[in-house]
Amino acid sequence: MTNDDVKQALAHLVGAPYVPELKDTICAITGRSRVVGPTDMCTREFDPTRIQIRTDANQVIQGFEFN
């Protein structure tokens, strides 16, 4: 699944409140094992398969980034 495919598959989550359990759902939908929540610590190493969940100040999902 390409990053564009991932964005399309996860588009229904944009605007939803973030809860940590969503990371497992995102793994199941995308087949990717590295999903980082908005307050999770992660390394700065480049990993094109990692999905980072971007939220606003109210923990509402705004989108997804890959690195």
| Nearest Cα residue to 25 out of 12, 40, 39, 44 | 12
Helix or strand or coil: residue 44?
Answer: coil
Residue 43 has a pLDDT of 82
Residue 51 has a pLDDT of 96
The pTM of this model reads 0.89
Residue 42 has a pLDDT of 85
| Nearest Cα residue to 58 out of 24, 28, 19 | 19
**Contact (Cβ atoms closer than 8 angstroms) between residue 6 and residue 64:** yes
Q: pLDDT tens digits, residue range 6-65?
A: 999 999 999 999 999 999 999 999 999 999 999 999 888 888 899 999 999 999 999 999
All domains of the chain, ordered by start, with CATH? 1-64 (3.30.10.10)
- Residue 5 pLDDT > 90: yes
